[in-house]
Structure formats: C-alpha cells, structure tokens
Amino acid sequence: VKLAVYDDYRVGVVQDDGLHDVTAAIPGWDPSWPQTFMLRTIADFAALRPAIERAATDSPARALDGVKLLPPVPCPNKIVAAPTNYVRGAVQRADLESMYGPQTRNVRDLGMFLKAPSSLVGAGDPIVLPYPDRRTDYEAELAVIVGQPARHVSRAEAMRYVFGYAVALDVTVRGGEERSQRKSYDTFTPLGPWLTTADEVSDPDGLAIRLWLNGDLRQDGSTAQMILGIAELIEYTSDVMTLYPGDVISTGTPDGMGPLADGDTVIAEVEAVGRMTLRVRAAAR
C-alpha cells in the first residue's frame, strides 16, 4: 500500500490509476490536529488495512498532480539520521575535507543525530534556503518509517519493526554550528512522495537511489553500499532511544551531494519507493 497525506491532511492510497481518498477509514482523523492520526494509523495498520483497502476500492481515482502532497508522517516523535553511512570516493572526500578537515570517521564512530520534525515538508513544498550566501547541500536518502515501539531490538528481529519507506532529502547548511541545527531549518527534510509499506519493497538493502539537479544526474548509488544496513541502524539506534510508530530513520546519502541554489529543481528517487520533484528558493530576507 502507498499512503499519501495531501491537501488539508486528507489521507489517500496511491494506485496505478491515481489517488484514492481513504480519509473516512482513518480513525481520529482531524485536520485541525494533524499531529496524531497518521501515527495511530501506522501503529494500528494491520487492523485498519482491510477498511483502508475497501475505502480505496470504493473511491474514485484522482490525478496526483491535482493535489498538494504533504509529508506522509506529518509529525513524527523524531527524525533520526545517519552521518557518513556510505563509503566516500576520493572526490567527495576531498570536498568534505575542504570544509571539515580529515574525514576518518563514519556512522560506526559518529553515531546517529536528530533532525527537528518541524523541518519536514512534503513533495509539494519548496526547499527554502535560509542563507543564500552559505553553501547548502542536498543529500538524497532512503527513509525508514518505524511501525512498532522498538527498544533494544536485535538486527535479526529489526525488520519486523519497519512499517515502510519513503524518499527523504537531508538538506544541510555547511559550517561550524551543531549538525542538528544545520540540518533542522524549516523545509530541510522533504519526505515523500508517499509512504510505501514494507511488503511492497522486496529488497530494501539493494535499492537504486538517485538525485538529479536541474536535470543532471548527481547521485547514483544503491542502498547496498550502506555501511550500517537498515537492520543494523535499527539495532544501533534502539539501544539509545525507544523508536515509536512513525519515527523516521534517514539512512545516509551516497556520493554526489552538492550545493543548491535559488531556482534549482531537484528530483530524488528511490527504486520501488518513489520519486519526488522539489523546487528550491532563497528565503526572503
């Protein structure tokens, strides 16, 4: 199932013929208080799935380009992200060393970091650059959406805790401030275009991940290149903090990250998960 949140926080199922409104099957749906209903839907999805699928069958398809897509998890308890979870080639390493000095550590040494949930936007919103004079990079990432509370979960059990997947961008202002601040500006975590449940992704550790900047292919990797795979990331992170339904784990970015500028168009794609197109603009000062 592909679950989208759109327009006034309505919920839809994406199928080949378009978007089917299933809002009536979502318990506790309240567009004036969108913080909770998708978290409940994810936590209770096994029980809710028949009603959601029935509602999808009963509602007409509408075109996806006629709606505004919002983040498929509007208000997660947290966004946890992996720094340096792909082996760096010489060019990317030199680029990073020019900003941060020697790059000798990866996710195994650095651990995970947090991004503010308020940095989320959907595929229908622009990325806003807060400081047009400072380098601000795109990073295309596979996002893992947690399905059940997870604490001290072994890697052997970890995939049971995955609800689904989405495409994420981990946008980053370069500089000397704390990493969590540089990655937490509003609009710095585009997530979408929808949430694809885990049963639709047969090999999450072998998905092509690509990003185009103004039509040029800039990132072309595979989740097979991750240093810590999805199960290991869940094991590692759940030893630190309880993961809750709807929590987002952004799994790191392959080589090719680079700067954004006002007026750019970014396309980010993860095989079997989705593709989203985002515009970039400078903040009004």
By DSSP bridging, strand 127-129 and strand 140-146 are unpaired
Work out whether 139 is an interface residue with Mn ion (CB under 5 A).
yes
Task: Return the number of the residue (139 or 247) whose C-beta is nearest Mn ion.
Answer: 139
Instruction: Determine the size of the site formed for Mn ion (CB under 5 A).
Output: 3
Measured in degrees and rounded to the nearest 5, phi and psi for residue 86 equal -130, 145
By DSSP bridging, strand 248-250 and strand 140-146 are antiparallel
Work out whether 255 is an interface residue with Mn ion (CB under 5 A).
no
Q: Which residue's C-beta sits nearest to Mn ion?
A: 170
Work out whether 125 is an interface residue with Mn ion (CB under 5 A).
no
Which region, judged by CB under 5 A, interacts with Mn ion, from 17-25, 136-144, 239-247, 262-270? Answer: 136-144
Largest Cα–Cα separation, the chain? 58
The minimum distance between CB 254 and Mn ion, in angstroms, equals 10
> DSSP state, 200?
G
Which region, judged by CB under 5 A, interacts with Mn ion, from 53-61, 90-98, 138-146, 241-249? Answer: 138-146
Question: Token pair for residue 59?
Answer: 């509602």
Task: Return the number of the residue (136 or 253) whose C-beta is nearest Mn ion.
Answer: 253
| Contact criterion met (CB below 8 Å) for 81 and 112 | yes
Which region, judged by CB under 5 A, interacts with Mn ion, from 97-105, 133-141, 196-204, 277-285? Answer: 133-141
| Contact criterion met (CB below 8 Å) for 188 and 71 | no
By DSSP bridging, strand 248-250 and strand 208-213 are unpaired
The minimum distance between CB 117 and Mn ion, in angstroms, equals 16
Rg (the chain; Cα; Å): 18
CA 207 to chain centre: 14
Task: Return the number of the residue (219 or 238) whose C-beta is nearest Mn ion.
Answer: 219
Pattern 142-181, Mn ion, x by CB under 5 A: ----------------------------x-----------
Query: Applying CB under 5 A, which residues contact Mn ion?
Result: 139, 170, 253
